[in-house]
Structure 1
Amino acid sequence: MSDRLRVLIISDTHGRTERIDRAIEQVTERIGGYDLLLHAGDHAQDVSGQKYDPAIAVCGNCDPIGCEEEEKTIDLLGVKTLLLHGHTVQVKSTPLSLVYRAIEQSAQLTVFGHTHTPTLFVEADRVFLNPGSLSTPRGFTVCTYALLQLEREEGRTRADFSFYALDGHQIASFALQHTFSS
């Protein structure tokens, strides 16, 4: 595995694949592309097939049952990552169940969707990220996606999190640098 990884993170696309394409164009112009695409559910099938390869998606509440797993745990340069939509832990009601789920899974990073609202916070030295929605934003006026750039060195992984509006502008209030230890 490379010492660097560029991850495009999207959710709640609801069939708006042209917006996925626009986000990819922006990421390609900005940093030369992505190494992995994560889709946090609701139209997980929007990233199936080779067009968006490599992509990892989970099943959301608007997906056909069984189209994907509801949760996946993946390794991103030594960072144990939990990917889920969030409906199974009621993220619209409280983030507490999400935090507990991350602790149960020993996840250092948790990526979720469902609320259609961009979110980035650290709790118990764990990072929680919701990229917002590429279809219907809620609590925020524009469609959004997230970009995660990881760099591994000397047993640590440095992470740079950034969020972008679909018009290409970076959303400065959603930026974070974090170092994960192995």
Structure 2
Amino acid sequence: MFVVMSDSHYDRDVVQSIKSKYLNEATAIFHCGDSELPSSDEIWQGITVVAGNCDYDSGYHDFLTQEVEGKKVLITHGHLFYVGLGLDRYSYFAEEKNADIALFGHIHQPVAQKINNILYVNPGSVAQPRGKYDIKMYAIIEIEGEEFKVSYRNLQHEPIPELQFRL
């Protein structure tokens, strides 16, 4: 089980809350950018984080890959792939990187879908939600064989009933 959050926009407390809840339970914790915190902040110990379009600290990477539970996870913010216009560009990149799971942020809306056998997840925003779901949220991904369980949670760590997926 691993945790994905994004777009915290200076809200260090929400990052700390999620980290504290899952640090000893999750196999990995990811932040998909736009934290607007320094890359040297101690909060990133135990969290894989990338640069967003609002992160100007050169200590962040534009994308990273990491093996988690036998799957190759690709993480980026998404702005460099124009994810607001769709996942085409990002999906080409994810295929080039041989990713099993591709995480991204930027659009502040939940996305959980499979394209060409790669799972794409946007965890929504823990600070500034947009779109249909006006709920500050993050995602939990569980790997069950070849199936993925994606569970969106509110900031009270409760599942959001209409945002539970098996893909």
TM-score past 0.5 threshold: yes
Note the C-alpha offset of 1:44: 6.1
Check the 8 A contact 1:17/1:46 in 2, yes or no.
Answer: no
Q: Which residue of 1 aligns with 2:165?
A: 176
Note the C-alpha offset of 1:51: 4.0
Note if 1:101 corresponds to 2:90: no
CA distance in 1, matches of 2:36, 2:147: 28
3-state SS, counterpart of residue 45 of structure 1: coil
How does 1:1-182 map onto structure 2 within 5 Å? 6-24=1-19, 27=22, 33-43=25-35, 45=37, 49-51=41-43, 53-139=45-131, 140-150=133-143, 156=145, 159-178=148-167
CA distance in 1, matches of 2:37, 2:117: 32
3-state SS, counterpart of residue 92 of structure 1: helix
3-state SS, counterpart of residue 99 of structure 1: helix
Note the C-alpha offset of 1:53: 2.8
Note the C-alpha offset of 1:62: 0.3
CA distance in 1, matches of 2:112, 2:21: 21
CA RMSD after TM alignment: 2.3
CA distance in 2, matches of 1:55, 1:34: 11
Identity across the alignment (%): 25
CA distance in 2, matches of 1:150, 1:48: 31
Larger radius of gyration: 1
Check the 8 A contact 2:27/2:69 in 1, yes or no.
Answer: no
Q: Which residue of 2 aligns with 1:3?
A: none
CA distance in 2, matches of 1:108, 1:175: 19
1:98-149 CA-to-partner distances (Å, cap 9, x unmatched) read 2111112111100000001111111111100000111110112110101123
CA distance in 1, matches of 2:27, 2:75: 17
Judging changes above 3 Å, is the alpha-carbon distance between structure 1 residues 48 and 10 closer, same or farther for their aligned structure 2 residues? farther
**Paired residues, what number?**
166
